[in-house]
Amino acid sequence: MNFFDEIFPKLDINIQSNEGKLPIQIQGPLKPSNITVDGSLSSQFLTGLLMAFSNSVTDPVSISVSNLKSKPYIDLTLKVMEAFKLNVPVNNNYETFSFLPVEKDVVIANTPISAVNTSSSAIDINYTVEGDWSGAAFLLVAGAVAGKITVKGLDVFSTQADKAILQALMATGCVLSVREDEIEVGPAALKAFHFNATDCPDLFPPLVALASFCEGTTVIEGVSRLAHKESNRGLTLQEEFGKLGVEITLQEDLMIIKPNALKSAVVHSHHDHRIAMACAVAALRIEGGVVIHEANAINKSYPDFYQHLEKLGAGVVY
């Protein structure tokens, strides 16, 4: 969390941390100021600042961003802010986000969350949270490698970056039918693919599981985005899928995947939910199954994942 050690003092927030790690103590309130942030590590930091600024601006102010990655998630942030009547900044080609002050009685953010339902200034909003393309990507890949599956509840018009899993699936030649209310995926003779995951790095684990059953060498761009996830996912995928018989080479910003005959093995999640899910998907097609240590890492994002996966086949021990 070193990002906040650098940025918070510029916003009049006191912060004490253990060199960017827990425990972290902060004392506000935040006072918006013209700042420049590095967007290469994660778009989540910018998302938090955009929401915080929307509640606090009293004068025109801008957040400048260098080297922003995962732009689709910033689109999603601005979309959600608009839905909840927040003060939405002007997006200047993802380089600056400019805020203008607004009257407080028209900004729901100026009402404390605990008082939203009782304050006279609150606005009643009905909002349906989108289905999670990041979690669903594993189910869709499972359908392509192990058996037909129908997934409902996803917005095919979503700005979520991980919706790009459909492009990768299409490139493999799997059976794929996309409708507004459901997506059907089925297995076929899968072929290798080339995919740029720079804006959707969370797709690396399901893409590696997919590539493990494709004929030929798959290349995925964007490895530099993986170092600071729940684990260093480039190295973790290389290590754990290597145990299953998949050869993964990391070359600059590329991940090169050469599948071999997959074999039963004992793997470790590295306490990373997406690594555990990727290994579980691969297990669907591995004779003898796969044992996943620290398999409960999935509880971070998808506690029912194994139960749902069991409907497609056996082979997962957790």
Q: Which residues form the catalytic set?
A: 202
The H-or-E segment that residue 71 falls in is helix 71-83
Length of the chain: 318
The residue with tokens 């290469």 is: 40
Pull the structure tokens for residue 149: 């599956």
CA dist., res. 290 & res. 316, Å (int): 6
Q: For residue 271, how many C-alpha atoms fall within 13 Å in the half-sphere facing its CB? A: 3
Beta-sheet strand order (sheet of 247-251): 194-196, 218-221, 254-258, 247-251
Separation of alpha carbons 53 and 60, rounded Å: 11
* CB neighbour list of residue 143: distance below 8 Å, 6 or more residues apart: 149, 151, 174, 184, 185, 186, 187, 312
The residues, ordered by sequence, that sit 6+ positions from 68 with a Cβ below 8 Å of its Cβ are 39, 40, 43, 46, 74, 94, 95
Find out whether 263 and 245 touch, Cβ atoms under 8 Å: yes
Structure tokens at 224: 């530099």
